[in-house]
Amino acid sequence: MKIFTSGARCVGSQIERIEEGFLQLGHEITTDITSAGLVYANNAWYDEIIEAKKAGKIKGKIVFTVLDLAPHVPDFPVQKLKEQLVYADHICTISKFVQQDLKNRAGFDSTVIYQPIKKVYRTGIKKHNFKAMLVGRVNDPAKKAVESVQALIAAGLNGGDVITVGREQPFYGGAWANSVNDEVLNEIYNSVDFVMCMSTSEGMGLPALEAMSVGAVPVLPRDLTTREEFFPTQVFPEYEFVKDAETAKDFMLTLMRDKERMCEMKTRLVNHFERFWRENLNGDGVAKKILEVVK
């Protein structure tokens, strides 16, 4: 099948990983939307595809993936989203939280198909001297990097212990790696004990899941929208006590002061990822599930 894809393209973008999955399953990626048997988009908005549909250029099935409805943004244009989604043959969402939020706020049913994480995995090799990591849009207030930094300082970690990865130069200074390829990112994930993920509103929360896959400990609050879905209380009861910078500091110090406890939690994280999430969070698995929805 010929497949036309649309989505944000940058270092480590999800759409490129999904394309790799389609290719490995024997399909063809095309830039000609008129010849595509499947048109797939994980954009925030779908204007290009809708215009092509109105012009009669699309003959194949249309699948739109909703990343989130930004519940932390009071004026999120729900009405625009509703007007666009009627053009889809199938609607997907990237977590159970987004699925329910879309149903409640826009009235659409959807199928949960997760987005693929970056190609990171546990190596057990520490190539850098950093102890903690911040990753992603650290200057976005919704990511609550301020709380993460407060927790790190309170736990006794200084600028030399922390590295920030992402396109945004951090306001708090310290080591900044900018955007990096998967190989370097994997080295950093495997070198740190903690990955700071203190935001409460996420469609998925990819850095926390990438941390889990390598056995770095994500520091996340109990009221994260997807926390129970990916880090259930019955497996990770520790997160029930993390709610702000002070309790995040206590969470980290408990592990920093007890090496056996730290090792046990890292192993628990990797085992949980391998058991429940590896297939759901790689390009092949995501592409396969998209095709199953179409069929």
Band the pLDDT of 13: cuts 50, 70, 90: confident
The pLDDT, as a whole number, for residue 12 is 64
The pLDDT, as a whole number, for residue 262 is 98
According to DSSP, the residues that pair with 141 across neighbouring strands are: none
pLDDT exceeds cutoff 70 at 11 = no
The pLDDT, as a whole number, for residue 85 is 98
Question: Mean pLDDT, to the nearest integer, of 22-49?
Answer: 96
Average pLDDT value over all residues in the chain = 96
pLDDT exceeds cutoff 70 at 247 = yes
Q: Could you read off the pLDDT of 264-282 as tens digits, one per residue?
A: 999 999 999 999 999 999 9
User: What is the DSSP track for 49-111?
Assistant: HHHHHHTT---SEEEEEE----TT-TT--HHHHHHHHTT-SEEEESSHHHHHHHHHHH----E
Q: Could you read off the pLDDT of 38-97 as tens digits, one per residue?
A: 999 999 899 999 999 999 999 999 999 999 999 989 999 999 999 999 999 999 999 999
| Residue 173: partners with Cβ closer than 8 Å, 6 or more residues away | 159
Alpha helices in the chain, H assignment, sequence order: 14-24, 47-54, 78-85, 96-106, 145-154, 182-191, 206-214, 227-230, 245-256, 259-276, 283-294
Number of residues assigned to the chain = 295
Question: Mean pLDDT, to the nearest integer, of 147-167?
Answer: 96
The pLDDT, as a whole number, for residue 49 is 97
The pLDDT, as a whole number, for residue 277 is 97
pTM of the model: 0.96
Band the pLDDT of 174: cuts 50, 70, 90: confident
pLDDT exceeds cutoff 90 at 31 = yes
pLDDT exceeds cutoff 80 at 251 = yes
